[in-house]
Chain A
Amino acid sequence: MTKIKTLADLKKMRSSLKGEIELRQQSENPDSVVQVKVGMGTCGIVSGAKETITFFSEALRKRDIPAVVTQTGCMGYCHSEPTVEVTLQGKEPILFGNVDPAKADEIIEKYIKKGQLVDGVIPITFKTIED
């Protein structure tokens, strides 16, 4: 077992361990990070939502963007699956349709990083009980 000998050791160790609880840490304050919800109803999964969600969580982590990626049930837009809802801090949620990994990449680079809208936005027509 390596001993922790200095403050620097502890700091190094802490930052290498941060990942273990990062998900928990971010979900403490979901409003302060980017929130991505992927529709994972049967329709979503059949259309490849699984690849989409994996892409989002890996890409956001690799690109150092603090985010919470969650799955949710079918959002009712089965014609445009996979659907993804993205909420930036202090903004209204935006819903994107037909999000495959390539589209997801575009959403991250343009909307999440720069706030520019991309094609494929679905107008949101309802509110959920949680709002």
Chain B
Amino acid sequence: MADYKFHLLVCGGTGCHASNSDVLAENLKAELAEHKLSEEVQVVSTGCFGFCEKGPIVKVVPDNTFYTQVAPDDARDIVEEHVIKGRKVERLLYVDPNKKEQIGDSKHMDFYKKQLRIALRNCGFINPENIDEAIARDSYAAMAKVLSEMTPKDVIQVIKESGLRGRGGGGFPTGLKWEIAANNEADQKYVVCNADEGDPGAFMDRSILEGDPHTVLEAMAICGYSMGADKGVIYIRAEYPLAIHRLKVALKQAREYGLLGTNIMDTGFNHDIELRYGAGAFVCGEETALIRSMEGKRGEPTSKPPFPAQEGFNKKPTNVNNVETFANIPPIILKGSDWFSSIGSEKSKGTKVFALAGKINNVGLIEVPMGTTLREVIYEIGGGIKDGKKFKAVQTGGPSGGCLTEKHLDTPIDFDNLLAVGSMMGSGGMIVMDEDDCMVSVAKFFLEFTVEESCGKCAPCRIGNKRLHELLVKITEGKATKKDIRNMRNLCHVIKDTSLCGLGQTSPNPVLSTLENFYDEYMEHVENHNCPAGQCKALMRYYVLPDKCIGCGACARACPVGAISGERKKEHVIDQHLCIKCGACLEKCKFDSIIVK
């Protein structure tokens, strides 16, 4: 075994990969070879570090130096300066956006200080395509323990006592779900991993699969053992090619080691796992639709009961869990339920992974104990709002969740608290909005998504959401009345109460929560035909300030519809009926004499 003095960990997650981190890794290897250092320095392509805002990331071990936005050409400096001369390459160090100072290593970054990584423990640490590194980090040790020392009932008991709840959105107690599946007798049962991950902006599950695929395989086998299922299926969207590739590599390696397949570790236990690809429809993440889709049918939900645990894939008892739920299983088995249940809040144990997005400094993937407040996540880990703007709202739970405001910032995040304030945990999307965001438009954005993704099977969701979207469009165009707002609220409740599946039952949440928390903003659109955030195009007016206009005519020449007129060297005017609000005049004016209101 080579005795490496340095490990250069290069992020190989989808984000960094898209910014050429694979070329970077190759360049690092080439530089090292040129300096005859290949025996002393190891280059490792890892999964996601979570700090996607500033990718590609290179972390140098053992000194934990954290380089950000590293280009393939920077390989030379890292090798010649850092590795050979022992000097950090300062221009690549992370600069704290608030303190404006360079941070030398990851241990001193606010982004990582409050995080606790259980599900993501191996992401950014091991090479996901090397099973040996996974085993060195205890992969399959939990499965070995389960197979050699525990009965299926013991396993279920431990998971029940840990308090683990499903991370796919519903928050259903995982141990209980396994128990139900175990109690249903059948000649064939299935374990299904839900890797559909359809929320806009969410990439928690993708990162786990890309960074630590063995954890999910191991957990599925453990689940199979507890409920008596020798077949597992991972339903993953075809839009995740890197995750699929890493899963395939992991499956092959695990089978070669005899950790999947027949007679695993000579215990007589059989378990093998196959992949099924989804076409990327949001509704296929709903477990009954997912099962239909796996059977080659249309991805439409069915009414429950029967629950999948009674009659699922191929009409056999099936246990469906989310990727992140599975990623928590091996540590629980190894460290015990007491350890796990000591983390988190009263009713939500453990940690949760969130995909931070929107107007926040540190966009990326984080994992925090349940019960961490929104404020800690947004301001401490997330580094606060971009460009010093003012915080306005945070949307959790994706298209099924709600928008929370300033007054909710000190709410400890867990399943029940978020529900109580009108949002939900969902799968962990978290989109931060600032003063420039129009809340009506935000609600409209999510409704557009729902209308697009509704499968159309039930009328409330198919027609109701469409009408709801039309009402929102009407508001953003300044054409709505107070009565429309009342109707909209009613419609929301009807859709929620009568839809077949979780999609329709939650799709009005973005509307209801913005109505609740930003009623004045809705009324401003309705009564004064004004969008306070200046986002609703139809409500914008472009004006020329007479005393500033020198009559150069640049705006008139730029206007594509000839809405601007005026004599040379005299003030110009914009015809509001012709103006299409494209903003071309604003861009061309050198004298700041055009304003938008």
Q: Contacts A1-B257, A61-B3 hold; do A73 and B144 have CB atoms under 8 A apart?
A: no
**B9 contacts A by Cβ under 8 Å:** yes
* A69 in contact with B62 given A6-B265, A10-B135, A57-B3 (CB within 8 Å): yes
Secondary structure at the A interface, as helix, strand, loop or mixed, is helix
Asked if A10 contacts B141 (CB within 8 A), the reply is yes
By the criterion CB–CB under 8 Å, are A73 and B87 in contact? Answer: yes
Residues of B within 8 Å of A61, CB to CB, are: 3
Which of B101-109, B349-357, B517-525 lies at the interface? B101-109
Q: A1-B256, A7-B145, A68-B62 are in contact. Are A14 and B135 (CB under 8 A)?
A: yes
Contact B133 A17 (CB under 8 A): yes
- Specify which of A10, A14, A24 is in contact with B7 (CB 8 Å cutoff): A24
Tell me, rounded to whole Å, the shortest Cβ–Cβ distance linking B272 to chain A.
Answer: 15
Q: How far is the CB of A11 from chain B (nearest CB, A)?
A: 8
- Chain B residues with Cβ below 8 Å from A45 are 85
Contact, CB under 8 Å: A70 / B258? no
Given contacts A20-B133, A130-B105, contact A5 B85 (CB under 8 A): no
Which residues does chain A contribute within 8 Å of B107, judged by CB atoms?
30
Chain B residues touching A, range: 35 or more
Q: Indicate if the CB atoms of A4 and B62 lie closer than 8 Å.
A: no
CA distance A25 to B58 in the complex (A): 17
Whether A41 pairs with B86 at a CB distance below 8 angstroms is yes
B91 to chain A, nearest CB (A): 15
Q: Which residue of A lies closest to B46 (CB)?
A: A24
Closest A residue to B257 by CB, please name it.
Answer: A4
Bound Cα distance A54, B6 (Å): 12
Question: A10 vs B3: C-alpha distance in the bound complex, in angstroms?
Answer: 23
Kindly state the separation between the CA atoms of A129 and B148 in the bound complex, as whole angstroms: 51
Within 8 A of A (CB), among B85-102: 85-88, 101
CA A23 to CA B125, docked complex, whole Å: 11
Instruction: Decide: A4 and B132 in contact? CB cutoff 8 A.
Output: no
Count chain B CB atoms within 10 A of each CB in A24, A45, A53, A129 and give the residue with the most.
A24
A6-B265, A30-B62, A129-B104 known; A21+B86 contact, CB < 8 A: no
| Cβ–Cβ contact A21 & B137, under 8 A | yes
User: What residues on A are CB-neighbors of B111 within 8 Å?
Assistant: none
- A42 to B257 alpha-carbon distance, docked (Å): 48
Which listed residue (B9, B87, B136, B148) contacts A7, Cβ 8 A? B148
Q: Assess whether A89 is interfacial by the CB under 8 Å rule.
A: no
Query: How far apart sit A69 and B101, CA to CA, in the bound complex (Å)?
Result: 26
Task: Verify B61–A23 contact, CB threshold 8 A.
Answer: yes
Chain A contacts with B in 15-46, Cβ cutoff 8 A = 17-21, 23-28, 30, 38-42, 44-45
Give the Cβ gap from B241 to chain A, nearest Cβ, in Å.
Answer: 27
Given contacts A1-B257, A4-B257, A26-B62, contact A21 B136 (CB under 8 A): yes
Specify which chain B residues have a CB less than 8 angstroms from the CB of A109 in the assembled complex. Answer: none
**CB nearest neighbor in B for A71:** B86
| Residue in B87, B108, B133 whose CB lies within 8 Å of A130 | B108
* Chain B residues closer than 8 Å to A53, beta-carbon distance: 5
User: Are B63 and A10 within 8 A (Cβ)?
Assistant: no
How far is B131's CA from A10's CA once the two chains are assembled, in angstroms?
12
Interface residues of A in 41-87 (CB under 8 A from B): 41-42, 44-45, 53-54, 57-58, 61, 68-73
Q: Does B138 lie at the interface of the complex (its beta carbon under 8 Å from any beta carbon of A)?
A: yes
B86 touches A3 (CB 8 A): no
CB distance from B267 to the nearest CB of A (A): 9
The reply to whether A14 and B62 form a contact with Cβ atoms under 8 Å apart is: no
Q: Chain A residues near B4 (CB, 8 Å)?
A: 23
A-contact bits for B251-268, CB 8 A (1 contact / 0 none): 000001111000001100
Residues of B within 8 A of A130 (CB): 104-105, 108
- Other A-B contacts than A27-B64, A70-B62, 14 sampled, CB-CB below 8 A, are A1-B256, A3-B258, A5-B258, A10-B135, A13-B135, A14-B136, A17-B132, A21-B137, A23-B7, A25-B137, A30-B107, A58-B3, A70-B63, A130-B104
Task: For the complex of A and B, list the 8 residue pairs with the smallest distance between their C-beta atoms, beginning with the closest.
Answer: A40-B86, A3-B258, A71-B86, A17-B136, A27-B62, A70-B63, A68-B62, A1-B256
Residues of A within 8 A of B (CB): 1-7, 9-11, 13-14, 17-21, 23-28, 30, 38-42, 44-45, 53-54, 57-58, 61, 68-73, 129-130
- B residues touching A (Cβ–Cβ < 8 Å)? 1, 3-7, 9, 61-64, 85-88, 101, 104-105, 107-108, 125-126, 132-133, 135-138, 140-141, 144-145, 147-148, 256-259, 265-266
